Amino acid sequence: MKITWYGHAAFKLESPELSLILDPYRHPDAGGYLPIDDAADAVVISHINDRYHSHTGQIKTGFELIAAHEFKPGGQHFRGVHFQAVPVYETPEKLAGDEVTVIYFTMEGLKIVFLSDLGHALTPAERAPLEDADIVMASTGGKPTIALDELMTLLGQIRPRVVIPMHFKTDKINLNILPNEEFLKLAENRYRINRAKTSSVEMTRHNLPSAPEILVLDYAR
């Protein structure tokens, strides 16, 4: 599977059978990240936020929209992949209007967890389906999404093999969030830090690291 980080919380996952775009932002309103003008078989969104997480207008037409916040119990199937979601909130106050989802699915034999805009600790029931993930895409910019100390606790509970940071401060985003280095300072004693120096990596079950790893990608856009 090829994993590309566009920037902010947007990714592309590609296998020979299926290509997905996760949580696309809107250019130029999401800062300086360039448009996501690629093609994909499906666009998967965790919630409605047209500026930062659910803008499909710049993606080439012909995709299936998979909206995790609209899933019925049991999730949704698409081309052999079973997408499921955990309803959560963007902020710890869990107020109406803050609803988002955590998305999880298995693709090319890899269990993927996309934490999206999760903003709080999870209950045992909420985190149970996420445990023992192969790859977790985690917001590492701190509040208003999950605080870094709570994120570290959550990662220790779900035990991913690889954590890919997203949703953090770069020179292309205008949000008041933390740079990824703040997360890496907390994580460096528990995880190997792999700075890929590229926006795309190939991941298979055979090249998963033997010990837990933070995989830092450069933004593609």
For residue range 9-59, what is the model confidence (pLDDT) as tens digits? 999 999 999 999 999 999 999 999 999 999 999 999 999 999 999 999 999
Chain-centre distance of CA 21, in angstroms? 10
Beta bridge partners of 107: 110
> Can you tell me which residue has the tokens 């590609």?
14
| Short-list 150, 137, 119, 194, CA closest to 7 | 137
Calculate the CA dihedral of residues 33, 34, 35, 39 and round it to 10 degrees.
Answer: -100
pLDDT tens-digit series, residues 159-171? 999 999 999 999 9
Residue 13: the pLDDT is 98
* pLDDT tens-digit series, residues 13-24: 999 999 999 999
- Banded pLDDT at 174 (limits 50, 70, 90): confident
Q: What is the pTM of this model?
A: 0.96
Rounded to whole angstroms, how far apart are CA atoms 109 and 177?
A: 33
Given pLDDT bands bounded at 50, 70 and 90, which one contains residue 221? very high
Mean pLDDT value across the chain: 97
* Cβ neighbours of 157 (radius 10 Å): 14
* Contact assessment for residue 17 and residue 79, using Cβ atoms and an 8 Å cutoff: yes
